[in-house]
A = this chain, B = another copy of it.
């Protein structure tokens, strides 16, 4: 797995994929900067009037539903339908799944459109599998990622999507494999939008390979590793966020080889 991640990162820095983000307003700046720091090229366009044309020129699409309006919800449906039509991979971040009927309806429609990858925290993944679950606590997870593993696997079977569950251990699930990522740091939960940044990085890797499972593993593990390294010298969440960009920028084969803690299992 490590070699595949190293190769994908090299490829990303050469190809500089254009990643189209229809994303939430809280993290727009951060995810743009995470993509740029790693070596990708972000474009954030969310008007229903122009997303189709941007999907055409981008290599991958990121959908993050954190701060919805009717307009952006419509743009997400227009963009993902068009991505499917022209064979563009896309990743869904179901931020706040379960907190409102409007949000759940949109998520139902997006699930029907079969995302290439879905990445969320434990609560969000559990809610996606069963919209009759009790409400989540806003956008922070109330469930350990391990508890969500069973639901993640069921969601994988239901949708055919690759499922990523972020938490103390990160899980990436396909029909055949489960990868566990042990990198990260608890302080990361006190910075907004690091999960969203993982989703954006998955988008960047989807833009450089047809091996979507490897792309998802690369996005999740690189964000968790960069966060872990960023936390080591951080006095708090402010420094962590700052260091994260620098770590993404400095990340190389040697660091990945020596620091990544991931395991792959066949089901």
Contact = CB atoms under 8 A, between A and B. Distances in A.
Number of copies of chain A assembled together: 3
Contacts of A43: 96, 99, 138-139
A243 B237 contact: no
Contact of A33 (B53, B96, B191, B250): B191
A36 B26 CA distance: 13
Contacts of A239: 242, 245-246
A190 interface: yes
A245 B237 CA distance: 6
Contacts of A53: 99-101, 135
Instruction: Please report whether the interface of chain A is mostly helix, strand, loop or mixed according to DSSP.
Output: mixed
A219 interface: no
A193 interface: yes
B42 A138 contact: yes
Nearest to A234: B246
Contacts of A99: 43, 45, 50, 53-54, 57
Interface stretch (A64-72, A86-94, A115-123): A64-72
Contacts of A58: 138
A50 B50 CA distance: 25
Interface string A41-83: 1111111011001100110000000111111000000000000
A143 to B, nearest CB: 14
A57 B238 contact: no
Contact of A192 (B33, B69, B100, B192): B33
9 contacts: A26-B29, A42-B139, A43-B96, A46-B69, A49-B70, A49-B100, A50-B103, A57-B135, A236-B250
